[in-house]
Amino acid sequence: MALRLPVSHASWSSAHPITSADKVRSGIIGRRSPSIFFRISTKRRENVEKRVRVALVRSSLETVGGQNLIGQVTEVGKDDFWPIVKSAGDKTVVLDMYTQWCGPCKVMAPKFQELSEKYVDVVFLKLDCNQENKPLAKELGIRVVPTFKILKDNKVVKEVTGAKFDELVAAIEAVRRS
């Protein structure tokens, strides 16, 4: 935050002109404005978050000693959803399609996490249906939130709409058995 003081023209004379050296010393030249720095920082943060998300996805699909890693729900976006589903192979994939403002979505989030800890042979993903992911949400045919899509072999085989935990568990069990 800069302190602004009114300066009258009478206080400046031709004997004291402002030079570029004064501007550099005062920070006027050679510094990025805070808004530009914030935009750059935000962009860098988004790139780092994307790389971290992809690394987490890879780790959730890897096995350790023949066992899947337990208890992971991986946040996905429009760019990494299909590659993750394809890399899951014949594993069951459960996708939670939610929004930040949805009350029932917030109620289902901890239950979805519990399911990921219970079913270690299933890949659990979350997709925030915001503006950025709208094309994927449309492609998957979302009508209400929360919507849970269960995929097997790159195809949607079951869908549960609304915060219906028992129906979701039954659908996961049915797909796992098939």
Residues tagged active-site: 102, 105
Name the CA dihedral angle for 53, 54, 57, 61, rounded to a multiple of 10 degrees. Answer: -160
Q: Is residue 150 part of a domain?
A: yes
Q: Domain for residue 155, yes or no?
A: yes
Give the range among 39-48, 49-58, 143-152, 164-173 with minimum mean pLDDT.
49-58
Any residues with CB less than 8 A from the CB of 157 and at least 6 apart, and which?
150, 151, 175, 178
Q: How confident is the model at residue 26 (pLDDT cuts 50, 70, 90)?
A: very low
44 within domain boundaries: no
Amino acid at 144: V
Domain presence at residue 56: no
Residue 125, pLDDT > 50, answer yes
Owning domain of residue 169: 70-177
Mean pLDDT of the chain: 76
pLDDT given at position 178: 87
pTM of the model: 0.63
pLDDT (0 to 100) of residue 99: 96
List, in sequence order, every beta strand (DSSP E) within 63-109: 63-64, 67-68, 73-76, 92-98
CA-to-CA distance for 142 and 132, rounded, in angstroms? 15
Note the pLDDT of residue 71. 67
Residue 5: what pLDDT?
Answer: 44
Q: Would you state the pLDDT for residue 75?
A: 94
102-123 per-position pLDDT tens digit? 999 999 999 999 999 999 999 9
pLDDT in tens, 27-50: 444 444 444 444 555 556 665 555
Per-residue pLDDT reduced to its tens digit, 48-101: 555 555 444 444 455 432 334 456 899 999 999 999 999 888 999 999 999 999
Pairing of strands 122-128, 92-98: parallel
The structural domain count of the chain equals 1
Instruction: Report phi then psi at 16, rounded to 5.
Output: -125, 65
Residues 133 and 145 sit within 8 Å (Cβ to Cβ)? no
Which domain CATH number covers 156?
A: 3.40.30.10
| Token pair listed for 16 | 């004291």
- The answer to whether residue 16 is domain-embedded is no
- Across the range 138-143, mean pLDDT stands at 94
Q: Does residue 151 lie in a domain region? A: yes
**Domain-embedded: residue 63:** no
